[in-house]
Amino acid sequence: MTQDNIKAFSEKREKLNELVLKNAGINTKRLFNVDQQVYRDGALPARTKELLGLVASLVLRCDDCIMYHVIRCHEEGISDNELEETLAVGYTVGGSITVPHLRRVWQAWEELKSNTTTDGD
């Protein structure tokens, strides 16, 4: 995955969410709202909630969800060490079947970090 792929993922996700909401009934709209609300700062900071979302997504092996939470973790300023420990929890719970997803997480993470580094130049 390249930075262009990360951007394409984010744009595609946004467009598809718009399509879902355009056609959604009240129940789907409520679920989307809960999803947005639950990741905001509360008793737990948003960054912790994103790490929790990443673990759950890794265990469930949902690539779209994993990518979304990796991007959000990067936006929340999660460190490499925090990410590694979080992924270790997911790997421990989810088992070796999560390894392909771990590979994609680290690939995306490296690309997100390299983009941040080049943006500052």
Q: Say how many Å lie between the first and final Cα of the chain, rounded.
A: 22
Cβ contact 53:22 at 8 Å: no
pLDDT bucket at 1, cuts 50 / 70 / 90: very low
Domain spans of the chain?
3-119
Residues 8 and 88: their CA atoms lie apart, in Å, by 28
Residues 46 and 51: their CA atoms lie apart, in Å, by 9
pTM for this one?
A: 0.88
Q: What is the pLDDT of residues 76-105, one digit of tens each?
A: 999 999 999 999 999 999 999 999 999 999
Backbone torsions φ then ψ of 82, nearest 5 degrees: -65, -40
What is the CATH number that goes with domain 3-119?
A: 1.20.1290.10
Q: What is the pLDDT of residues 5-61, one digit of tens each?
A: 898 999 999 999 999 999 999 999 999 999 889 999 999 999 999 999 999 999 999
